Amino acid sequence: MTQQIPQTPPDAPEPTPAPELSGVRNFRDVGGLSTTDGRRVRPGRLFRSGHLAHATETDAEFLESLGLHTVFDFRNGADQALEGPDVELAGVRNVNIPLSDPADGKEFWAMVRDGELDRLRAVLGDGKAAARMRDSYRTIILTRTAEHGRVVHALAGDSVPALMHCAAGKDRAGLSIAVTLLALGVERDAIVADYLESNAPHNRYRVRRGSDAPEARSPEVMELLAPLFEARAEYLLTAFDTIDGRWGGVDGYLAEGLGLAPATLERLRERLLTG
């Protein structure tokens, strides 16, 4: 799918530039994305990133300068045990809404860090890694409607400006951003284009292995792990297909799945859209 970078209207503020943060990966402002009715996501209202556990003092100063109201952390206990809690940002509310099971997280990180080649071949080879990711996206959409509904309701209330993150800022945060953008009426192509920006070298999660031995990071090992840490359009499109298949489209998903009333959606759009 061709990525298209939307142009910000002349009368709208520019999206917040993405600085080279030292300890935070995959940060960006999603402002500027276009909606089906010709409006744009308002810059400076909705941000996404990887975890904030390793944010430096300079990183924290920049994040505090954004005037954030809420940071949504979608990591589970296993993620937090591995990376640590988010740094505290002055005046910012931190909300942890796990979008995956800690037991699954523990198994995932054990495989990533310590899985030997034979096990990785068995579990991830022959397309199994990509299939695992597609199944994960499908499962989150089907089973985490209460959590996603909670996030969108909060954004329609008093929780903006907001930053959403998980571990890498790609999957759980990517889906939560996608759900929010669907609620705003953003074009699906624009949502996918933003999602794929997680593949930029400065955005990608740094895969850590438990050993420094050369065989622990051999080309074959890294190739087997790659689908788990890449943003692939097929993953997000699986989420969209799941919405269409289960709820008949975005409108049904927002109303029946997430429990969003028309008035709530209108408040959300007033807060987050220009025009």
SS3 175: helix
Residue position matching structure tokens 């284009």: 193
Which two three-digit tokens encode residue 220? 């074959």
C-beta separation of 240 from 144 below 8 A: no
Q: Which residues pair with 186 in a beta bridge?
A: 35
Q: How remote is the C-alpha of 34 from its chain's centroid?
A: 19
Which residues are known catalytic residues?
166
Helix pair 219-229, 128-143: axis angle to 10 deg: 20
Please return the burial class of 42, using the count of CB atoms within 10 Å of its CB with bins 0-12, 13-18 and 19+.
Answer: buried
What count of residues does the chain have?
A: 275
